[in-house]
């Protein structure tokens, strides 16, 4: 196993996997950090199997997905790991954690998207994957993903337009 290779792999994927987990555990940093640590430990253990020629990102993405599934099973939580829910219970009302109106609108709009659409937007704009990397993870062509992302962003804008404070970019 090459330390340099793993370090490069770690630097490339840490932020994305962190974001992937972060929005699936209710933006809880402590839980997120524990899970991300475990995911990378697992990746290190099986790093011999990693073949960047096959896919640079899909391998760690799959480990993260399976690890989250185990976590939800162990904690007896029911969750759709492929989907992300942005609005948390307790966020509405005066005691909301999110005080910024704009962000609240965006979370609401994101939650109104179809799960597939939400997944594409979060992967592209929040987790920071390229279309090529997304195509390896989602098993769709990069061109198809470009079109789908474009449509989803358009839909998201129209959802936000209906909000009082939103002005189209």
Partner 1 sequence: MFRLKRQLKNMHQQATPSHAFKMHLWHKLAEELGEASDCVPVRRFRFATVTGIASLVLVFGMGTGVYAYESPSVVDGHPLHFMKEGIESVEGVFARSPEGRARFHTRMMSRRLEEGETHLQDAAHAQRALERAAIQFEYSVDEVAGGFKDLERRGSFFDDLSVQQARYVELSSRVLESEDEIGGPWSLQQRVETHELSSEELRRLFRMNHGAMIDEEQR
Question: Which of 16, 25, 140, 29 shows the shortest CA–CA distance to 81?
Answer: 25
User: Which of 12, 26, 27, 111 is the binder for partner 1 (CB under 8 A)?
Assistant: 27
Site for partner 1 in 79-138 (CB under 8 A): 102-103, 105-106, 121, 125-128
* Cα(110)–Cα(116) distance, integer angstroms: 11
Residues 62, 88, 165: CA angle, nearest 5 degrees: 110
In angstroms, the Cα distances linking 88 to 12, 73, 74, 96, 168 are 29, 20, 21, 9, 26
Count of residues touching partner 1 (by CB under 8 A) = 37
Q: Closest CB to partner 1 among 109 and 138?
A: 109
Residue 87 DSSP one-character state: S
For residues 22 and 64, is the Cβ–Cβ distance under 8 A? no
User: Which of 13, 25, 35, 36 is the binder for partner 1 (CB under 8 A)?
Assistant: 36
Q: Closest CB to partner 1 among 35 and 139?
A: 35
Closest distance to partner 1 from the beta carbon of 43 (Å): 9
Closest distance to partner 1 from the beta carbon of 76 (Å): 25
Q: Which long-range contacts (CB under 8 A, 24 or more apart) does 142-146 make?
A: 145/120
Site mask, partner 1, residues 135-164, x = CB under 8 A? ------------------x--xx--x----
Residue 126 DSSP one-character state: I
Range in contact with partner 1 (rule: CB under 8 A) among 39-47, 59-67, 89-97, 133-141:
39-47
Residue 169 DSSP one-character state: -
Q: Applying CB under 8 A, which residues contact partner 1?
A: 1-3, 6-7, 10, 14-15, 18-19, 22-23, 27, 33, 36-37, 40-41, 44-45, 102-103, 105-106, 121, 125-128, 153, 156-157, 160, 165-167, 169
């Amino acid at each position: 196993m090459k330390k340099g290779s793993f370090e490069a792999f770690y630097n490339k994927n840490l932020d994305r996997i962190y974001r992937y987990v972060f929005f699936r555990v209710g933006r809880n940093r402590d839980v997120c950090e524990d899970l991300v640590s475990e995911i990378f430990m697992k990746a290190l253990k099986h790093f011999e199997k990693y073949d960047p020629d096959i896919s640079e990102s899909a391998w760690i993405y799959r480990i993260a997905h399976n690890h989250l599934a185990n976590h939800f099973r162990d904690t007896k939580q029911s969750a759709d790991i492929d989907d992300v829910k942005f609005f948390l219970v307790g966020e509405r009302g005066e005691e909301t954690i999110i005080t910024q109106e704009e962000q609240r609108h965006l979370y609401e709009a994101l939650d109104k998207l179809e799960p597939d659409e939400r997944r594409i937007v979060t992967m592209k704009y929040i987790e920071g994957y390229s279309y090529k990397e997304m195509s390896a993870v989602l098993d769709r062509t990069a061109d198809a993903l470009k079109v789908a992302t474009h449509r989803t962003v358009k839909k998201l804008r129209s959802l936000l337009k209906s909000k009082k404070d939103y002005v189209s970019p």
